[in-house]
Amino acid sequence: MPQRLPPLSTLRPFEAAARLESFSRAADELHLTHGAVSHQVRALEEHLGCPLFARHGKRVSLTAEGRAFAERVRSALEEIAQAALQVKPARRDNRLTVSVLPSFATSWLMPRLIRFMEAHPKIEVSVMATTALADFERDEVDVAIRFGVGPWPGLVCEAFLDDEFFPVAGARMKPPRSPRDLLGMRLILEDRHYWHEWFAAAGVALDRPIEGPTFNDASYSVQAAARGEGIALARRSIVGDDIAGGRLKRLFAVRLPAAERYWFVSPRALAATARVKAFRDWVRAELASG
């Protein structure tokens, strides 16, 4: 039996690429390079002796064989995840460990978290702010707040917030008169393709590459914009308080709906626990209250 297995290191990159139908998005999700995902998928195809994806330039789509194989791989990964949880020692029922992006933690979660702790004084809260995907087993994470396409195999995933992008600048910066004027200003980059899509939505044709300082998390981009160091393309979810407080101002009415959403993500064995349910319910209530 073991000798019939494909290279196990290829399965997670393949599953992510199959689910997202994008090597680039799979690379982002797994914190790998595009080339690494492509290499792993090709190694798997060579082992199986058939193509799993049809390549269309930079786009990919599953072949019939790839779609059938992806379903089996996804199911197998879910079984492995559940088996791992069952053999781990029981966790303390009063400890809640939350994994969250630094941008969402800084801009939304942390200023409000005291209200959750006051409402649930018996729950011991631990927050892990990181851009890496949560390792639920190694780090004993109960629930993660992810911003992505989702859902993720082997986990209970609940979408709870849609988002949109728009440009923001520091309160003291003189605003440009039109979207095209932004091309003559310093643009702060977190992900270039969102700027490309926003300019397209604003009816601005780009005749040169977009350049500017690049940060790996939106919180740094927003902070740089607030200091007057450039224009950031920000998510509504993380700049609402800054705009209301006068630290940032929104530029133009053009908005770009995000393809990603915010999700609660938990292992199946933990999703129904009282502490995780209490946290999910509290986040939803906070969002509903504005």
pLDDT in tens, 187-198: 998 766 789 999
Q: CA-to-CA distance for 211 and 184, rounded, in angstroms?
A: 11
Question: Is the domain of 100 the same as that of 66?
Answer: no
Q: CA-to-CA distance for 91 and 100, rounded, in angstroms?
A: 20
Give the CATH number, domain containing residue 39: 1.10.10.10
| Average pLDDT of the segment spanning 46-56 | 91
Q: CA-to-CA distance for 265 and 246, rounded, in angstroms?
A: 33
End-to-end CA, the chain: 56
Question: Is the domain of 136 the same as that of 268?
Answer: yes
Question: Is the domain of 255 the same as that of 227?
Answer: yes
Question: Is the domain of 168 the same as that of 34?
Answer: no
Res 92: pLDDT: 62
Q: CA-to-CA distance for 124 and 187, rounded, in angstroms?
A: 41
Q: Which segment of 25-34, 43-52, 231-240, 255-264 scores lowest on mean pLDDT?
A: 25-34
Res 261: pLDDT: 94
Q: Give me the percent of the chain exceeding a pLDDT of 90.
A: 60
Q: Which of 87, 121, 144 is at the close of a domain? A: 87
Is 80 exceeded by the pLDDT of residue 243?
A: yes
Res 149: pLDDT: 87
**What tokens does 75 get?**
């199911």
Question: Is the domain of 137 the same as that of 14?
Answer: no
Q: What is the pLDDT of residues 70-89, one digit of tens each?
A: 999 988 888 887 777 666 65
Q: What is the β-pairing status of strands 143-148 and 256-267? A: antiparallel
| Average pLDDT of the segment spanning 163-173 | 94
Q: Which segment of 38-47, 50-59, 157-166, 241-250 scores lowest on mean pLDDT?
A: 50-59
Cα–Cα distances in angstroms (integers) from residue 18 to residues 77, 167, 216, in the given order: 14, 32, 25
Is 90 exceeded by the pLDDT of residue 229?
A: yes
Res 88: pLDDT: 65
Is 70 exceeded by the pLDDT of residue 129?
A: yes
Is 90 exceeded by the pLDDT of residue 257?
A: yes
Q: What is the β-pairing status of strands 124-129 and 53-56? A: unpaired
Beta-strand runs (E) in the chain: 53-56, 59-62, 95-100, 124-129, 143-148, 155-170, 187-188, 231-235, 248-250, 256-267
Q: What is the pLDDT of residues 171-222, one digit of tens each?
A: 999 889 999 999 989 999 876 678 999 999 999 998 888 888 888 788 889 9
Side chain identity, residue 22: S
Is 80 exceeded by the pLDDT of residue 58?
A: no
Res 43: pLDDT: 92
Question: Is the domain of 43 the same as that of 170?
Answer: no
Residue 142 near residue 273, CB atoms below 8 Å: yes
| Average pLDDT of the segment spanning 151-171 | 93
- Decide which of 290 and 210 is more confident: 210
The chain-wide mean pLDDT, for the chain, equals 89
Give the CATH number, domain containing residue 285: 3.40.190.290
Is 70 exceeded by the pLDDT of residue 106?
A: yes
Cα–Cα distances in angstroms (integers) from residue 253 to residues 19, 58, 245, 256, in the given order: 33, 31, 19, 10
Question: Is the domain of 97 the same as that of 74?
Answer: no
Res 141: pLDDT: 93
| Average pLDDT of the segment spanning 9-26 | 90
- What's the whole-model pTM score? 0.68
Question: Is the domain of 163 the same as that of 246?
Answer: yes
Q: What are the b/e assignments for 231-268, b being 16+ CB within 10 Å?
A: bbbbbbbbbeebbeeebbbebeeeebebebbbbbbbbe
Q: Which of 87, 106, 137 is at the close of a domain? A: 87
Is 50 exceeded by the pLDDT of residue 1?
A: no
Q: Which of 29, 63, 87 is at the close of a domain? A: 87
Question: Is the domain of 55 the same as that of 102?
Answer: no
The domain total for the chain is 2
Question: Is the domain of 178 the same as that of 267?
Answer: yes
Question: Is the domain of 97 the same as that of 43?
Answer: no
Cα–Cα distances in angstroms (integers) from residue 252 to residues 125, 168, 208, 248, 275, in the given order: 39, 9, 22, 13, 41
| Average pLDDT of the segment spanning 15-28 | 88
- Decide which of 208 and 146 is more confident: 146
Question: Is the domain of 55 the same as that of 130?
Answer: no
| Residue ranges making up the domain that contains 54 | 2-87
Q: How many helices, marked H, and strands, marked E, lie in the chain?
A: 11, 10
Residue 217 near residue 190, CB atoms below 8 Å: yes
| Average pLDDT of the segment spanning 239-248 | 92
